[in-house]
Amino acid sequence: MLDVLVVGGGISGGSAAIYTAQGGLNTVVIDSGKSQIKQVSKVFNYPGIKEVSGPELLENIKEQAVAAGTEWFEGTVESVEMKESAYEVSMSDGRKLYTKYLVIATNLQTSILESLGFELAVNEKVPSGKIKKVLGIGLDGKTHLSNLYITSLLAGLSSQSVIASGHGASVGISIVSAETGKSYMWHDK
């Protein structure tokens, strides 16, 4: 069984995986390759990086996650079921994986959350009024379901990569801290 499975390898999911893998947890990301940042030819507002293309920023995050020990699968998660002490994650190619901690980092895609019974509301921080969120999610990304975490817009945050990335990192830290029973700090080794 995996420690952590992240559904969605965009900015937030990839960032979560950097932290859970670096924190020593056996981590897999499954990504269907449709991150919004791929549409952006130049990103000028990611602090510390004056200019980067969206695809390059995304690839760098993936490389950092893999360097930390993450296994990265291309593919689509079709369904998730809660079993007694694990989540069963089924991919559209028929593969099934089992994980203790599950991170939903699917951004615009809400079907997995709906199938797990989450109620969705409008994320009012996005002006279009079309983006959904789960109510009551904090910076640690925890939900009422045991060991299930949500990132980014789905957690009610504002749009922009630095926010998605920071929230992913925060979720990763919260998972490592929950698993080890002590507050995790990257540089505190």
Pair 46, 164: CB distance under 8 Å: no
Helix (H) or strand (E) holding 100: strand 96-104
Q: Count the residues of the shown chain that bind ligand FAD, applying the rule CB under 6 A.
A: 34
Show contacts with ligand FAD in window 46-65 (CB under 6 A).
46
Give the Cβ contact number of residue 97 at 10 Å: 17
Instruction: For residues 177 and 68, give the distance between their C-alpha atoms in angstroms, rounded to a whole number.
Output: 17
Pair 76, 106: CB distance under 8 Å: no
Nearest residue to ligand FAD, by Cβ distance, number only: 10
Q: Is residue 39 involved in binding ligand FAD (CB under 6 A)?
A: yes
CB nearer to ligand FAD: pick between 85 and 115:
115
Closest separation in Å from C-beta 181 to ligand FAD: 28
Q: Which of 6, 10, 18, 176 binds ligand FAD (CB under 6 A)?
A: 10
- The piece of 36-44, 80-88, 128-136, 137-145 that touches ligand FAD (CB under 6 A) is 36-44
Q: Cα(first)–Cα(last) distance of the chain, in Å? A: 26
Show contacts with ligand FAD in window 72-111 (CB under 6 A).
76-77, 105-107, 109
Instruction: For residues 86 and 64, give the distance between their C-alpha atoms in angstroms, rounded to a whole number.
Output: 27
- What are 19's two structure tokens? 């932290």
Q: Which of 138, 77, 137, 140 is nearest to 109 (CA)?
A: 77
CB nearer to ligand FAD: pick between 32 and 177:
32
Q: Which residues are registered as beta bridge partners of 79?
A: 90
Q: Which of 5, 6, 37, 175 binds ligand FAD (CB under 6 A)?
A: 37
Q: Is residue 35 involved in binding ligand FAD (CB under 6 A)?
A: yes
Q: Is residue 43 involved in binding ligand FAD (CB under 6 A)?
A: yes
Task: Catalog residues that contact ligand FAD under the rule CB under 6 A.
Answer: 7-13, 30-37, 39-40, 43, 45-46, 76-77, 105-107, 109, 151-153, 159-162, 164
